[in-house]
Amino acid sequence: MFSLPVVALAALLYRAGLLDFQPAIATLGAGLVLALVAGVLGTVAFFVTWETGWLGIGRAIAAVAIAVLVLAGPAAVLARGMMLPKLTDIATDAADPPRFRGLALAHPREANSLVFGGAEAAAAQRIAYPGIKPVDLTATPEEAFNTVLALVQKRKWRILDAVPPRGTRRDGQIEAVAVSPLMGFRSDVSIRIRPTSKGARVDMRSSARYGIHDLGTNAQRIEALMADLTAERRRR
């Protein structure tokens, strides 16, 4: 049971800004290790009580149940992430990724670089995430910008800058910070709306602020928003 408050404490303190990334990961890891040890001991205790009498069987089952509750989510994320390349920055246009302007000024010094990984990262991204591509719309750049802005607001990302497009003279851009549901890990997001001959092209970039592996979360974030954008424009 002690693993539950340890994991919760890691999330709460990190979200409140009272823990830096590395201590938060260490605290979370400690909670997960506690749950794993409890699950192993609970399994052993289950078979011991089976042979020697049923005294304590409830606690053994409870230990295993708590371990499964604590470990199931992280285990699924890690299992999926370990099959993916170590990337922290994903963009729909790896040759010309959307830039960070406002976020670059507010970016912590110890955070990951906002400079895109280059040709090697782009090649790894193409292999791992072939579906990460720009979305071309038959809407005007202004309509596309308003739709994207509404989707960002719906997700409750913290918007730092929103510059609407100006005809063919200026691209539209939205910069925001996305926060993961449980731990509150932050990712920097930049979305570019560029006019085309048929309407507008929307590119998106998502960069994990800390860590050496995003475990696929940036690609999931981009795919989800682009899918919602396409569906939203089809309804209009």
What whole-number distance in Å separates Cα of residue 230 and Cα of residue 4?
A: 40
Instruction: Quick: pLDDT tens for 115-153.
Output: 998 889 999 999 999 999 999 999 999 999 999 999 999
What whole-number distance in Å separates Cα of residue 117 and Cα of residue 10?
A: 30
Domain 89-234 class, CATH top level:
alpha beta
Q: Is the pLDDT of residue 218 over 90?
A: yes
Residue 117 has a pLDDT of: 87
pLDDT band, very low/low/confident/very high, at 76 (cuts 50, 70, 90): confident
Residue 156 has a pLDDT of: 95
What whole-number distance in Å separates Cα of residue 191 and Cα of residue 234?
A: 20
- Tokens coding 209: 């602020």
CATH 3.30.310.80 placement within the chain: 89-234
Residue 142 has a pLDDT of: 94
Q: Is the pLDDT of residue 194 over 90?
A: yes
- Highest mean pLDDT among 10-19, 53-62, 110-119, 186-195 belongs to 186-195
Q: Is the pLDDT of residue 236 over 70?
A: no
Instruction: Quick: pLDDT tens for 199-217.
Output: 999 999 999 999 999 999 9
- Tokens coding 224: 């989800």
- Tokens coding 2: 């002690």
pTM of the entire predicted model:
0.86
Tell me the β-bridge partners of 202. Answer: 135, 193
Q: Is the pLDDT of residue 157 over 90?
A: yes
Count of residues in the chain? 236
Q: Is the pLDDT of residue 171 over 80?
A: yes
pLDDT band, very low/low/confident/very high, at 191 (cuts 50, 70, 90): very high
Question: Residue ranges of the alpha helices (H) in the chain?
Answer: 3-15, 21-52, 57-81, 102-105, 119-128, 141-154, 217-234
Residue 17 has a pLDDT of: 87
Residue 200 has a pLDDT of: 94
Residue 77 has a pLDDT of: 85
Averaged pLDDT of the chain: 91
Instruction: Quick: pLDDT tens for 38-64.
Output: 999 988 888 888 777 777 788 888 889
